[in-house]
Amino acid sequence: MRADSADTFVKPVPLYARVKQTIVEKIYTGEWKPHDRVPSEAELVKQFNCSRMTANRALRELTAEGFLFRLQGIGSFVSEPKGQSALFEIHSIADEITSRFHEHSCKVLKLSEVNTNITQAAEFGIAVGTPIYHSIIIHYENEVPVQIEDRYVNAQAAPEYLRQDFSQQTTHDYLSKVAPLTEGEHIVEAVAGDSRSCRLLQIEANTPCLLISRRTWSKEFIVSSAKLLFPGHRYKLKGHFSS
């Protein structure tokens, strides 16, 4: 039988997609702002007269797409618009955040001297057992954790590193002053965050993350080796190059 109207062939929108659409519209119109709590699964079930599985799928997919982030045992919240980190250039994360008119803050978890193991010695091109400095810092954008910075520093290149207050200046800014960058390398990987990292970043275990492994040189010295871990749904990388 031939249909008399094109509408005959229009498939109804699945209920989970309607739930998603409603949430996204509230985010785009500004009715729900970053960090606002969105309705729970139970509240969505009641509002849309849908199954809990449907509500769960909508929230799960919106989280994967970066519209929401979920805190286990607390609920789902509107994500910040994705930040942007330079892929080819090396900038201070504080400058990146303030350029978006957001507030940067950080927490220093570790600042100490360690002796190189075989892997670290090879990375820096120095003898095993040579003292180097180790810092672990969490960076926040509007009080939301967006990066774990795990950095080892060549003590010869930055001998006063342990005496710095990195809650007042970034390691990048300090190292740029005492050992100006002449060369750098990046390795970018998609990884699943381990339980400790996810706890520090306030994301669910095994959430997809971006890991940048970065080494920097100042003339003949390898100055630092850092691993920078970002929650995948809160950050994106941008590269610019020309021939």
Nearest by Cα to 149 from 182, 175, 110, 180:
110
What is residue 80's predicted lDDT score, i.e. its pLDDT?
A: 74
Which token pair is 24?
Answer: 């996204």
Residues in Cβ contact with 95 at an 8 Å cutoff, skipping those fewer than 6 apart:
none
Whole-structure pTM value = 0.63
Class of domain 83-238: alpha beta
Where exactly are the structural domains of the chain?
15-78, 83-238
2-21 per-position pLDDT tens digit: 344 344 443 466 888 889 88
Q: What is the mean pLDDT of residues 179-192?
A: 86
Which token pair is 204?
Answer: 């669910």
The CATH architecture annotation of domain 15-78 reads Orthogonal Bundle (1.10)
Contact yes or no for 21/57 (Cβ under 8 A): no
202-214 per-position pLDDT tens digit: 988 888 898 989 9
129 conformational bin, left if phi > 0, alpha if psi -120 to 50, beta if neither: left
Half-sphere exposure of 34 toward its Cβ, with a 13 Å CA cutoff?
Answer: 12
Share of the chain above pLDDT 70, in %: 86
